[in-house]
Amino acid sequence: MKIAFIGLGIMGKPMVRNLVKHGNEVWVYDRKEENIALVTKDGAKAGTSNADIISRAEVIITMVPNGPQVEDVVFSKGGVLDTAKPGTVLIDMSSIAPTVSQKVCAALAEKGIKMLDAPVSGGEPKAVDGTLAIMVGGDKALFDQYQSLLLQMGSSAVYCGPIGAGNTTKLANQIIVAVNIAAVAEAFTMVKKAGVDPHLVFDAIKGGLAGSTVMNAKAPMMMDDNFKPGFRIDLHIKDLNNAINTGHEVGSPLPLTVQVQEMFEVLHVDGCGSHDHSGLAEYYAKLSGTKIAD
């Protein structure tokens, strides 16, 4: 399949590599030449502009930071609306507000271009090994047609409803992940302050009801004082902003989400926005004067 892939960040590069491994002809373009070089050495093909790669593609995949960047790819000169042929499919795998997905889909439909919103969860490690969880909104028949392509990048691709439902599902995911990380950081800071070994506590509780994928992934990072980003705080701030705005639009209060968002904002102001979101442990260290790590 001929694919134009736009967005060669932490997630995009390994996703491109997995598509190439499955025999697709993947065309890429990025303002940073080093990003292009990192994936063309693994078999992707370099284009000269977004318009160039879009014009070659049966499927366009976007993996960009937020709604404004998706709109720029679609609506700008040389973008999808200008360049893509009728019958082309846009699969937006960015995490954005559901209303933006709906707006973009409606505009594309007028030119005979179909769309799925298909945000992902799992961070860089699961992007690398091709085991992302993919949440998909759009026409069910279109999802059925492209599910196998999505599964070249993920271990699951689940249909969630009409366009925008994928991003609504992703917002729910991001709320649960953020609050869970905050709870882990809060609990393990208390453990350390009480003079108990966090490693022993982790071993004791991970098999019980408190155990979770989030705790298994993030508690070891906190105990090692390792906040190398798999998913950056600044990106989680973006997602929670979208969640809060969506909650306001539909009349759903999100008091826990707002609290964790403010914790992330403190870290951003302190210069930690590029740290992994497990860096919420740094927020508790600031409050308590104690690191979870030795």
User: How high is the pLDDT of residue 74?
Assistant: 98
Indicate the helix (H) or strand (E) that contains 150.
helix 140-150
Same domain, 149 and 193: no
Work out how many domains the chain is built from and give that number.
2
Is residue 114 included in any domain, yes or no? yes
Domain that holds residue 190: 168-288
pLDDT at position 122 is 87
- Please check whether residue 193 lies inside any domain of the structure: yes
pLDDT of residue 5: 98
Domain end position, chosen among 111, 145, 161: 161
pLDDT at 191: 98
Asked if pLDDT for residue 117 goes beyond 90, the answer is: yes
One domain for residues 218 and 186: yes
Is pLDDT at 230 greater than 90 in this prediction? no
Beta strand 120-121 with 2-6: parallel, antiparallel or unpaired?
unpaired
In a domain, 144, yes or no: yes
Token pair in block for residue 218: 């993030």
> pLDDT digits over 3-27, tens only?
999 999 989 999 999 999 999 999 9
Give pLDDT tens digits for 26-49: 999 998 999 999 999 999 999 999
Residues 240-289 have pLDDT tens digits of: 999 999 999 999 999 999 999 999 999 999 999 999 999 999 999 999 99
Question: Is the same domain home to 91 and 184?
Answer: no
218 is catalytic: no
CA dist., res. 220 & res. 199, Å (int): 8
Distance of alpha carbon 282 from alpha carbon 285, whole angstroms: 5
Q: Is residue 19 part of a domain?
A: yes
pTM of the model: 0.92
Tell whether 151 is covered by a domain.
yes
Domain match, 7 and 90 both: yes
Catalytic-role residue among 170, 192, 218, 238: 170
Are residues 189 and 47 part of one domain? Answer: no
Task: Kindly report the CATH number assigned to the domain that includes residue 102.
Answer: 3.40.50.720
- Token duo for residue 276: 């992994």
Domain for residue 116, yes or no? yes
Tokens found for residue 259: 């609290």
pLDDT at 123 over 90: no
User: Does 196 share its domain with 108?
Assistant: no
The pLDDT, as a whole number, for residue 211 is 97
The domain that holds 215 is classified in CATH as 1.10.1040.10
Does 12 map to a domain?
A: yes
Q: Do 130 and 197 fall within a single domain?
A: no
Which residue, of 110, 132, 161, is where some domain finishes?
A: 161
Same domain? 18 vs 157: yes
Mean of pLDDT values over 75-90: 97
- 236 and 281 assigned to the same domain: yes
> Residue 232 gets which letter from DSSP?
B
